[in-house]
Amino acid sequence: MIQVRHALSRPPTVPRNSDRAPTRDTHRPSVPVAANPPQPTEPILFTAEQASAILQVRPSWLRQKAAARAVPCRFVGKHLRFARSDLEAIADMSAQKPR
């Protein structure tokens, strides 16, 4: 009787080292390393906690003023955020108020 083997029923063969194509050095980077790696950048928008730390005020005060629209702010969906220009405007508003 003739035995027929299916191609998928054979165990896979592992190529010998001589059968493989020569490999290049893996310890050297293929892309040249930049002399000055990129530095982390400032976020585009700040949370109330981040903005209050920059302005040195309580986060609750900043949220309350933003909810009353007394200070410039932005809403991304339902999330309160502050741009750098908003923080500068808040600082300028407090400097312009007469005492």
18 belongs to a structural domain: no
Tell me: the pLDDT tens digits for 25-52? 556 656 666 677 667 788 899 999 999 9
20 belongs to a structural domain: no
Q: What is the pLDDT of residue 46?
A: 96
Residue 71 sits in a domain of what CATH number? 1.10.10
Do 71 and 90 contact (CB within 8 A), yes or no?
Answer: yes
If one counts the domains in the chain, the total is: 1
Instruction: List the domain range (segments joined by +) for residue 61.
Output: 45-96
Q: In the chain, how long is the greatest CA-to-CA distance?
A: 107
60 belongs to a structural domain: yes
Question: What totals of helices (H) and strands (E) does the chain contain, helices first?
Answer: 3, 3
24 belongs to a structural domain: no
Report the distance separating Cα 36 and Cα 34, nearest Å. Answer: 5
31 belongs to a structural domain: no
- Contact partners, residue 52, CB within 8 Å, separation at least 6: 58, 59, 61, 62
| Residue ranges in the chain modelled with pLDDT below 70 | 1-34, 37-38, 97-99
Q: What is the pTM of this model?
A: 0.56
